[in-house]
A and B are shown apart, each in its own frame.
Chain A
């Protein structure tokens, strides 16, 4: 829509570059919470899950450092709302977690696989985008809003995050943030490296740390370089539910819409993965093997889209970005995602996906 001003262009190109890196690393180390949890819980190989949690720890440390230095105002992001639904956020997480096992990968993984020539993920992404749109702004939105209102818990101003709660319990603000960040990041990283044995795979560990660093990089990009006096960009970082919907919408309505950060990231991830895949000659078209698989992928996409919209984020959006902000809301969301995945991998027989 018209000419874009400098800070908007910077944020969009920066988002595209972050997407390229995410796509390339993600493809290299097969970065995937869904695949990681399945391998860990059903085959006893925790390495890939460990990579996800290490990325989460690095994202947390970097983001809290940037916030502590005053470089980014996390309070302006969607993760610090005045209230959230105690029902929809964890329930959305469960739906998302179950859906990502069903679809054999979350939204970001589907984007990486698409760049690699996997056309199954095209169906996953279309279903995810449609379902998320229906839930956020479409036919299911009135229901979502009604339930959200009925199950709302108000958060007191100043404490929608872990450091905020500690600070209001009497700790000095800067110390509360540092303490929460160090304990959470070190604990998560140590657990991933040693208990989940990621330390034995330095290449994966380095890749995961690289992906983790993209989260504070994106926070800085939108929150610092996008903070124009007159036209501030929304403060956000990596997430792959709403941006997939926005990308589909942008494809259809670009003449009447302005390009958003998340859409630039989505485009970057697909292209980053595709470039690497073509450069290493691993690009190969892969399709469905059975009609059953079509249904499975579509259902997984729908559950991820609808669930991710309710939980305000996906495995990356809450598991990396949300946790990096230490937002209170992100803990039930991530708990829900893990619980949903557990139901699908180790749950009662009738829920289990083989």
Chain B
């Protein structure tokens, strides 16, 4: 009897060691083969085609833990020059765990001075937020960051009832030195209905979002954005601008129901 127990133990021990060895050998192999986070997002795969993005070079900033998935602050900064002939042409943002992963697509020009934005997004649970950037030379950069979304600690306030639809707010620097980059903040009142929500009677509220946002400086494009339904209500966007001379910034928003609105702000460059 005793002998049998001992042999069982020996067998278990040997088996354990084997399993451990297998695990140790498998770990580096699987790490090398593990698909990058953007490979798991269909629209991102489609966008990239055969291109291999360089990881790093895009910094994403999100809270590590948030209780409010309906409005998560996000900062994205692409570490790349913004000069004629070599600048960040487009930035694509994805939320891997959302029903539809696209967040926004933002096109920059060298007039922006830096490829950097602040905004607020909707996240349906804990997941990885992914950014891809394409430079004017056709290179791809990539970055990703994980965020944990817990249930809300407070009773959620009635979402969707947005007052003063299409009212916009803009804050641009009054004065800049030539070559200096200044931050422009913009916000538009809009519920950004996802089309996934039902009203009190159970009818689905149709999708209605601010679809495009464009900024020009004296007729030249600074930035063009296309929003998807995972942008938070009252879409907020902070972006840089680096004008060489004084002039006027013009802002254009357009939404699904056909309404559009414009705003202007002047900047003095000394």
Within 8 A of A (CB), among B63-107: 63-65, 67, 75
Q: Which residue of chain B is the closest to A1 with respect to CB atoms? A: B61
B48-72 interface bits toward A, Cβ cutoff 8 Å, 1 = contact, 0 = none: 0000000000000111110100000
**B169 lies within 8 A of chain A by Cβ:** yes
B157 contacts across to A, CB distance below 8 A:
76, 81-82
Which of A83, A229, A258 interacts with B63 by CB under 8 Å? A258
B169 contacts across to A, CB distance below 8 A:
229-230
B185 smallest CB distance to A (angstroms) = 5
B7 smallest CB distance to A (angstroms) = 43
State whether A136 and B153 are in contact (beta carbons under 8 Å apart), knowing that A82-B158, A229-B171, A230-B169 are contacts in the complex.
Answer: yes
B154 A312 Cβ-Cβ under 8 A = yes
B185 contacts across to A, CB distance below 8 A:
229-230
Inter-chain CB contacts under 8 Å: number: 55
B154-172 interface bits toward A, Cβ cutoff 8 Å, 1 = contact, 0 = none: 1101100000000001010
Within 8 A of B (CB), among A119-157: 136-138, 141-142, 145, 148, 157
A242 B187 Cβ-Cβ under 8 A = no
B171 A230 Cβ-Cβ under 8 A = yes
**A309 lies within 8 A of chain B by Cβ:** yes
State whether A257 and B64 are in contact (beta carbons under 8 Å apart), knowing that A2-B75, A82-B158, A230-B236 are contacts in the complex.
Answer: yes
B161 smallest CB distance to A (angstroms) = 9
Within 8 A of B (CB), among A151-171: 157
B63 A256 Cβ-Cβ under 8 A = yes
Within 8 A of B (CB), among A90-118: none
B180 contacts across to A, CB distance below 8 A:
none
Give the CA-CA distance A257 to B158 in the complex, in Å: 25
**A255 lies within 8 A of chain B by Cβ:** yes
B168 smallest CB distance to A (angstroms) = 11
A253 B64 Cβ-Cβ under 8 A = yes
B150 A137 Cβ-Cβ under 8 A = yes
Give the CA-CA distance A136 to B65 in the complex, in Å: 13
Within 8 A of B (CB), among A268-284: none
State whether A81 and B153 are in contact (beta carbons under 8 Å apart), knowing that A253-B64, A258-B63 are contacts in the complex.
Answer: no
**B151 lies within 8 A of chain A by Cβ:** yes
State whether A83 and B171 are in contact (beta carbons under 8 Å apart), knowing that A141-B150, A258-B63 are contacts in the complex.
Answer: no
State whether A1 and B63 are in contact (beta carbons under 8 Å apart), knowing that A82-B157, A230-B169, A230-B236 are contacts in the complex.
Answer: yes
A64-91 interface bits toward B, Cβ cutoff 8 Å, 1 = contact, 0 = none: 0000000000001010011110000000
A37 smallest CB distance to B (angstroms) = 27
Give the CA-CA distance A76 to B187 in the complex, in Å: 19
B65 contacts across to A, CB distance below 8 A:
249, 253, 256-257
B25-42 interface bits toward A, Cβ cutoff 8 Å, 1 = contact, 0 = none: 000000000000000000
A257 contacts across to B, CB distance below 8 A:
63-65
A242 B155 Cβ-Cβ under 8 A = no
B63 A142 Cβ-Cβ under 8 A = no
Q: Which residue of chain B is the closest to A242 with respect to CB atoms? A: B153
Q: Which residue of chain A is the closest to B237 with respect to CB atoms? A: A230
B187 A230 Cβ-Cβ under 8 A = yes
A140 smallest CB distance to B (angstroms) = 11
Which of A145, A157, A230, A312 has the largest count of B CB atoms less than 10 A from its CB? Answer: A230
A142 B151 Cβ-Cβ under 8 A = yes
B67 contacts across to A, CB distance below 8 A:
136-137
A255 B64 Cβ-Cβ under 8 A = yes
Give the CA-CA distance A257 to B154 in the complex, in Å: 18
A230 contacts across to B, CB distance below 8 A:
169, 171, 185, 187, 236, 238
State whether A82 and B63 are in contact (beta carbons under 8 Å apart), knowing that A137-B150, A230-B185 are contacts in the complex.
Answer: no
Give the CA-CA distance A229 to B164 in the complex, in Å: 14
B154 contacts across to A, CB distance below 8 A:
78, 81, 312
Q: Which residue of chain A is the closest to B148 with respect to CB atoms? A: A256
Q: Which residue of chain A is the closest to B150 with respect to CB atoms? A: A137
A78 B75 Cβ-Cβ under 8 A = no
State whether A141 and B187 are in contact (beta carbons under 8 Å apart), knowing that A82-B158, A256-B65, A257-B65 are contacts in the complex.
Answer: no
Which of B63, B150, B153, B236 has the largest count of A CB atoms less than 10 A from its CB? Answer: B153
A78 B63 Cβ-Cβ under 8 A = no
Give the CA-CA distance A40 to B67 in the complex, in Å: 40
B162-194 interface bits toward A, Cβ cutoff 8 Å, 1 = contact, 0 = none: 000000010100000000000001010000000
Report B's interface with A, CB cutoff 8 A.
61-65, 67, 75, 150-151, 153-155, 157-158, 169, 171, 185, 187, 236, 238
- 10 closest residue pairs by CB, A with B: A256-B64, A136-B153, A137-B150, A81-B155, A78-B154, A230-B185, A141-B151, A82-B158, A229-B169, A253-B64
A–B pairs, 20, beta carbons within 8 Å:
A2-B75, A82-B155, A82-B158, A136-B67, A137-B150, A141-B150, A141-B151, A229-B169, A229-B171, A229-B185, A230-B171, A242-B153, A249-B65, A253-B65, A255-B64, A256-B63, A256-B64, A257-B64, A257-B65, A312-B154
